[in-house]
Structure 1
Amino acid sequence: MVSDYPMVSLEKASLSYKNTPVLKDITFQLKAGKSLAIIGSSGSGKTSLAKLICKEVHPTSGEVENSFRTIFVSQQDHFSEIAGLGSTYYSKRYEFHDYENPMTVPEFLQQLFKRLGREDLTIEDLELLDTFKIRYLLDRNLMQLSNGERKRLQLIGAILEQPELLIMDQPFTGLDVQARAQLAELLEKLTIQGLSFVLICGKSEIPDFVENVLVLKEGQITFQGSPQHIGTQEYSGSIINTEVKVDTLLSRDTEQFETIIKMKHVNVQMKGKPILVDINWEVKQGECWALLGHNGAGKSTLLSMVTADNPQGYTNDLILFDLKRGSGESIWDIKNRIGFLSPELHLYFMRGNGVLSSVPGISSDAKPYSTLSCTDVIISGYRDEIGTASPVTPHQRTIAHSWLELVNLTKLADTLFLNASLGEQRVILLLRALVKAPALLILDEPCQGMDADQIQYFKSLLDHICTSRHITMVYVSHHKNEIPDSVQKVLVLEKGKVIENGSRTDN
C-alpha cells in the first residue's frame, strides 16, 4: 500500500545565488506514488527547484524535506566524458580509426552494473533495452549515438539505480513521437509500482498520469493544481524587440549558388553496417526543407555529409555550393557558408562538468571548463569555432550585441555561457548560427529547451530571414508544430533510406 505521508515537503523555500533571487517562498508537498510536473518559461527556476528537491543545493531560507532515494536525470548527459572524449572536436563522432577504442554501449552498461553492485543483471536479459527499443545499439560506441538514442540510454541508467523518486529534466527532449509515447507509458507503469516522478517539461508534454503541476514564473509558483486547469497561465509576453531590424543585422549580401546540396546514390557505412542507403536529394538556393525521421533514422549522419564533418563525403557523389566534394574546396570553405545548430553541438559548449541548472555554478563542486561569455559564443559562429573564440573585432561585437538586443537578452552579454539557463543557451547558439548571414542554415532540433513564446517568435524570425533574405534552410524537428511556415519541402528518412522526398503537405 502506498503511504499517504508526504515524501517531499517544501515550506517557504527560497534560493539565492550571489544575492540574486532564484526561487522565492516555494511551498508544496508530494506524496509517495504521486507525480508532479514543473513547467514555466526558460529561466523561471525549474531546474533549480528540482535541485532543491533532490538536495543538490540547499535553500537560502525555508525548509526542504526529502527522505527518499532520489535520482536526478539532467537534460544534458555526460557520455562524452564517460567515453574519455570530453575534449574532442565535434566531427570526431564521424571518424573511426583502427587504433582507437572508444567505449561501447555494452562496456558502458557493464560499468554501470558494476558501479551499482547489480551482479544480478546481464545485458542479454536487460528488458529495458527492449522497452526503449534500443537493443540494436549494442554494436555501437557511445559517440556514435544520436541525440534521441543518448536520451534513452541515459534514462535506462537512471532506472537501474532503483530510485523511489526520479526527477527528470526535459525527459522527452530529442525523442520522436513514438518514443515519447513509449516513455510516457513506461513511466506510468513505474508509478503503479510505487515510483514517484518530478518531470520538468513543456505544457503539451505532461503525461496523462500526472495529477499535479506547478507553474513557475520568475522563481515563484503562479499556479498549482490539476494540469487540466492550467489555462493560459504558463506563458506571457514576447521576446522580440521590434526596434531592432533583422534586415540591418543581415545586411551582408548572401552568396548566390544554383545548387546548395546534391546527393546522388550516397551511401554511408559504419564498421561495415549501412547507415545511409542510396540517398538522392537536391536542395536549390532559397529552398527550405524539413528533414524528418525517427530516432536513429540517419538524419544526423546525413547532415554530417553536408557540414563536411563526415570524411565519407569524399567517397560519394556529393555537390555542395556548386562544387563537387573533394574538388579543391576546404572544410572551412564549406563551413563558412553554413550556420549550424544541433543538440550534439550544444554538448561541446558544455564540456568538463558543464552546467546542468538554470543557475549554473550554484553547487560548491562545480568546475566550469569554459570561460566563454554569451557574446563570445555568438561571435564564435563567424569562424565556426567550438568551445573557443578568437579575438573579436569591434564590428563583430556590435553585431553580436544587436542580436542579443533583438531577442531581449542583452543582460547576458557578459555572462558566462555556462551560467545561462539551458533555454537561453539554445537561443544563444541559434544567434551563433545566424550571425554570419550564412547561405545555408542547418537547424537540428533548434527549439529544444525553449519555452512557447521563444518557439513562436523564432519560427517567425526564421520565416522572415528565409523569405526576405533568400537563405536556404534545412530544419530538423520531431514536433511538426515547431516547423516554420517557410518550410515547403520534406525529406523523410527511415532506417537510412529515403521514404518521402517532395512538397510539404501538413500546412
Structure 2
Amino acid sequence: MSIRKHYSLDSSTLKLTPDFVNELLTLDFLKTDTGKSGLFFSDYTLKHYLEKEYKYDIKIITDEQDSLLNKSTGERRMLLFKYLINQNPDFLIIDNPFDTLDTHHVKWLRSQLYKLSNHTTILQLYRRKEDVLQFITTELNIDSDYKINTIKSSEERAKKVIYELHDEFPQSLSNFNIIPESLVRFENVSVFYGEKPILRAINWEIKKGETWYLKGPNGSGKTTLINMMSGDNTKGYGQKLYLFDKQKGSGESVWDIKQKIGLFTTNLTEHFDGSSTVIEMILSGFFDSVGLIDKPSNLQSKIAEQWLSLLALLTQKNNQFSTLNESQKRMILIARAMIKQPPLLILDEPTSSLDDIGAQRVIALIKRIVNQSNTALIYVSHRPEKNLILDYTFELIANKSGSYGICLK
C-alpha cells in the first residue's frame, strides 16, 4: 500500500491572483495522484462568499437565518472548512490556515486536517515554517518561469531564521516627564453592543514602562479594549476608565490622548498605501497625520533618518512607501508610532501573515523598543513569539455574559 503524499509550498513571495489560484487547482501531479476535484480553503475564497452576502444577500455557507458577516475570523473559517469538506474533494489546498486564529480554533482546525489527511491529499501554502503540518511529505518550489515543481522532502526545509538590528537606537525629541505612573486603568468596566455583552467587569492597570501581552479568543473584545484606550471607542465614557490619570470623558480630547499613545494595527498599511515616501511616512508620526502635511524641522528629519538607519532602510528613504514589502511597511509604521517615543505603544497583531524572516525583523524591532526606551507596551497577538519576553499577560476569557480578564505574570 502506497503512502499518500501531502505537499507544502512557501507562499512568502506569492500573490494570490485568480490565474494563480486556477493554476494551483489544475496542477498535473495533483490530479494524477488524486483525481480531478480540488478545492481552495483560503481567506481569498471566504472573501468571495462575504461579498455575495454583503452585495446580494446570497448566503451559501450559512443558513438563511444566519450571517457570515457577523462571525469572527475563526467561526468563518470553521464554516468554510465544513462547507468544502462536505463536497468530498479529491484534494484540498489550504492557504495559511492558522493566520490570526486563536488557540482554540487552531487546535480544532489542526485536528480536522489530520483526520482529512487519511483520505484526501492536502497542499499547504505557508509563510511560517512552524505552521507546516507534520504529515506533509513533499516540499514544492516555484521556478524562474513561475512554474511549480516537486523539489525535496519536508525534512529539508531551511533552518530557523535569526534576525537582529544593530544600529543605535534613535533619540527622543518629546518630553513626557509629567506623565503619571498610571497610564491606563480599567475599574469594573463593562461593554455592551445593544443587548450583546462584550466585556464584563474589566479591571486592568498599565503603569509606566510595563510591557504587556494582551491575548484572548477571536471575538473576545481585544479590539474593543484597544479602541477604548486609543480614544476611538466611546464605550468608556461614564465608566471608571482612566487614561493618564484622567477619567474618560472628563474634558480631554481624542487628540490629547493620541499624542501620548503610539498605535499600530495591520490595516494601517491599507490606509497609508498612497504616494508618501518612506521618510515622509515616518515623519508624519510627529504630526499624527495621514501622510506628511507639515514641514518637519531639521532635527525631526535627522531623527527619522536614525529610525531608517536602525531598520536598515535608509537607502530607501525617498522611495514610495507602497513599494516596500509587507514586513518593511510594518516596521516603518511601528517607527512612525514610536518616533515621539510616547508613554504607551499598542501593537495589534504586528507579525500576522508575515513569513519567518519578516516576523523576525518586526520582533527584533520590538525587542529594541522594549529594551532601550521608556515606552510601555501592549502587544496583541494570537501567536506567541518565542523570542519576545514581556513582563505581564492580560488574558480575556470568553463568556456568554461578556469576556472577563485575568492578569498573569
Q: TM-score, normalised by structure 1?
A: 0.64
Structure 1 residues 305-340: Cα deviation after superposition (integer angstroms, max 9, x where no partner)? 101111112132110012111111111111121111
Structure 2 Cα separation of the partners of residues 412 and 163 of structure 1: 46
What is the deviation of 1:290? 1.3
Q: Which runs of 5+ in 1 are unaligned?
A: 5-32, 58-62, 84-105, 114-120, 126-137, 351-369
State the secondary structure of the residue aligned to 2:184.
strand
Task: Say if 1:483 and 1:397 are closer, same or farther in 2 by CA, change over 3 A.
Answer: same
Answer yes or no: is the 8 Å Cα contact 1:291–1:492 preserved in 2. Answer: yes
Answer yes or no: is the 8 Å Cα contact 1:293–1:299 preserved in 2. Answer: yes
1:312 aligned residue: 235
1:428 aligned residue: 332
In the alignment, structure 1 residue 440 sits paired with structure 2 residue 344:
yes
Task: Say if 1:404 and 1:478 are closer, same or farther in 2 by CA, change over 3 A.
Answer: same
Answer yes or no: is the 8 Å Cα contact 1:380–1:390 preserved in 2. Answer: yes
In the alignment, structure 1 residue 111 sits paired with structure 2 residue 25:
no
State the secondary structure of the residue aligned to 1:54.
helix
Larger mean Cα displacement after TM superposition, 251-260 or 210-219: 210-219
Amino acid at match of 1:213: E
1:197 aligned residue: 123
Q: Which runs of 5+ in 2 are unaligned?
A: none
Structure 1 residues 402-427: Cα deviation after superposition (integer angstroms, max 9, x where no partner)? 32332223454344444433333333
Larger mean Cα displacement after TM superposition, 207-216 or 470-479: 207-216
The alignment's C-alpha RMSD in Å is 4.3
Structure 1 residues 107-140: Cα deviation after superposition (integer angstroms, max 9, x where no partner)? 6895253xxxxxxx76179xxxxxxxxxxxx578
In the alignment, structure 1 residue 225 sits paired with structure 2 residue 152:
yes
1:366 aligned residue: none
In the alignment, structure 1 residue 393 sits paired with structure 2 residue 300:
no
Task: Say if 1:326 and 1:154 are closer, same or farther in 2 by CA, change over 3 A.
Answer: farther
Aligned ranges for residues 248-267 of structure 1 at < 5 Å? Answer: 248=171, 250-255=172-177, 256-267=179-190
Answer yes or no: is the 8 Å Cα contact 1:37–1:199 preserved in 2. Answer: yes
Answer yes or no: is the 8 Å Cα contact 1:314–1:325 preserved in 2. Answer: yes
In the alignment, structure 1 residue 186 sits paired with structure 2 residue 107:
no
Task: Say if 1:499 and 1:437 are closer, same or farther in 2 by CA, change over 3 A.
Answer: closer
Aligned ranges for residues 150-165 of structure 1 at < 5 Å? Answer: none
In the alignment, structure 1 residue 301 sits paired with structure 2 residue 205:
no
State the secondary structure of the residue aligned to 2:353.
coil
1:403 aligned residue: 307
Structure 1 Cα separation of the partners of residues 231 and 145 of structure 2: 43
State the secondary structure of the residue aligned to 1:443.
strand
Structure 1 Cα separation of the partners of residues 116 and 241 of structure 2: 48
In the alignment, structure 1 residue 123 sits paired with structure 2 residue 63:
yes
Structure 2 Cα separation of the partners of residues 308 and 203 of structure 1: 37
Answer yes or no: is the 8 Å Cα contact 1:340–1:433 preserved in 2. Answer: yes
Structure 1 Cα separation of the partners of residues 161 and 380 of structure 2: 25
Aligned ranges for residues 257-296 of structure 1 at < 5 Å? Answer: 257-296=180-219
Task: Say if 1:275 and 1:211 are closer, same or farther in 2 by CA, change over 3 A.
Answer: same
2:395 aligned residue: 492
In the alignment, structure 1 residue 206 sits paired with structure 2 residue 132:
yes
Task: Say if 1:414 and 1:394 are closer, same or farther in 2 by CA, change over 3 A.
Answer: same
Structure 1 residues 188-239: Cα deviation after superposition (integer angstroms, max 9, x where no partner)? 444555454241231110012322224789999999423233251x646x46
What is the deviation of 1:50? 8.2
Amino acid at match of 1:491: F
In the alignment, structure 1 residue 54 sits paired with structure 2 residue 21:
yes
Structure 1 residues 272-316: Cα deviation after superposition (integer angstroms, max 9, x where no partner)? 110000111111111111112122221111111101111112132
Task: Say if 1:36 and 1:375 are closer, same or farther in 2 by CA, change over 3 A.
Answer: farther
